[in-house]
A and B are shown apart, each in its own frame.
Chain A
């Protein structure tokens, strides 16, 4: 926190914990903290990633003749995208006007592009899951499954652009690495859902995806925080810090469990536990990223100091 100076100069100056001086208006935020709700938009980031990566996993299973794994992926994709769309709509101030998102086609708005993406991806994911569960129209179902797998990766990573294209210091500051972190987290969560739902005989790809996804997520997250400068603090402190540490622990445990499951005495139980840990890890990661954004917007230091540094770098 900042220490305030004498009342007379209260508005003019504050000193950071690290001694770095910066001025603010009564310690008030410069940019507005997001009005998005953590549970809705944080949940949207998570469920969209789960859905998108699950579609890719399902297509891989379809191609390699693993019907139970394919079904797990398709059901996870439909569940994820339905809930994420519901969360997005619930977050609106005027939910009944959701369809206004599609009254224009606007490449400068990631949320508009995302709405079109969901409008195309959702029905494909739905058709893939429903045809699989009912056994009707198998050829169309396979086509829908592959179609969803083409759009799924974009569904999983565009959300990083969605939050990156803002004035929120912790989100915009990570706009290069965040898509990779989200891709890894999505992959790990899709693997988690598959480990929970698919039999051990078919879930070897999910075990590998769990490890690869977790490694990608952790590596991209580390790189992001290293490149971000002082704003990285918001990912390490407070609620965001707790959530992200939980995400890391759960992710590592889940990935290790996924690897060990094949040789464990009770593979089914270990796989299911690992899957649950991976799903929880991904949820914690997205909520943690959300919380870091809010913290970075609430404290004027994260807006003012990096901008001052940019100005002095440009001047020198």
Chain B
């Protein structure tokens, strides 16, 4: 539990999941403004989690991004975006129109407060840990693939040769032992920060204020708002452009929120079916 003076800011999702006593909710703050695109996070994640290759190596032509997306075997993905945009270093002269702005961002599972993948999982393979993260139990998953279509971020994916789904565990096997996740450990610029979510949120707001003060008005936080369509993320970001520029959805939503309405419509439709067939019989006099 968080102690004392300040009310927790991130939803304490562990209590909703049935943990009466639990450590603070842990998460990632990925500050893309200091990402240098070294991909150490991708490599460290692959090594620690023993993730196989995604396929034969191919050059994509997407700047330095030859990984292309998060997948069952890639749980950190560094995006590279090249833009023609005037850039100005803090305190320096204004840039000109020919400047190249190079955005880099390490994407990861968001560990949503309202996790659609977890909600739709029919086997209970996906579960909420005591740290508030969302993890797949690979000895339970039967590879139904429902979570893949449910995730509003396109994170979780099926490994076709294995048959099951996989995604970031926020290094569940490390953080339980007091270690920090492999990607955060390997990040040389502290672009990836790991810690109690409430602390990260405070730190992110201070960083955002600094950047705005330094004349970077494009800087914004993403996934930090408990009022959004997934009640905020356990892994949130500081971005320098619109989320969709990085391949992130601008207003993600857990579809399960509409489930009561969907069941209601299906129930009325079922009654309609019965009434329709009843009418078909009522309108049919016996021929013989």
A-side residues, CB < 8 A to B, are 6, 8-12, 22-26, 28-32, 34-36, 52-53, 56-57, 60, 63-66, 91-95, 97-98, 100-101, 103-104, 106, 108-112, 115, 153-154, 156-158, 160-161, 163-168, 171-172, 175-180, 182-184, 186-187, 191, 200-202, 204-209, 212-213, 216, 293, 297, 300, 303-304, 307-308, 310-311
Contacts and interface: CB of A to CB of B under 8 A. Distances in A.
**Closest A-B pairs by Cβ, 8 of them:** A93-B143, A93-B163, A25-B247, A153-B270, A97-B142, A179-B269, A204-B284, A208-B280
A111 B146 contact: yes
A109 B146 contact: yes
Contacts of B157: 32, 35
B24 to A, nearest CB: 25
B250 to A, nearest CB: 5
Interface in B114-129: 116, 119-125
Contact of B266 (A8, A154, A172): A154
B154 A31 contact: yes
B266 A158 contact: yes
B247 A92 contact: no
Query: DSSP class of A's interface residues: helix, strand, loop or mixed?
Result: helix
B277 A11 contact: no
Nearest to A49: B273
Query: DSSP class of B's interface residues: helix, strand, loop or mixed?
Result: mixed
Given A94-B141, A165-B150, A106 B122 contact: yes
A128 to B, nearest CB: 16
Given A11-B82, A30-B154, A104-B123, A53 B255 contact: no
Nearest to A176: B265
Interface string B48-76: 00000000000010110100110000000
11 contacts: A25-B81, A32-B148, A35-B145, A35-B149, A64-B286, A93-B164, A94-B142, A110-B120, A153-B271, A175-B262, A212-B279
A179 B142 contact: no
Interface centre among A8, A25, A310 (most CB of B within 10 A): A25
Contact of A153 (B63, B148, B245, B274): B274
A109 B262 CA distance: 12
Interface string B142-164: 11111011111111111010111
Nearest to B84: A8
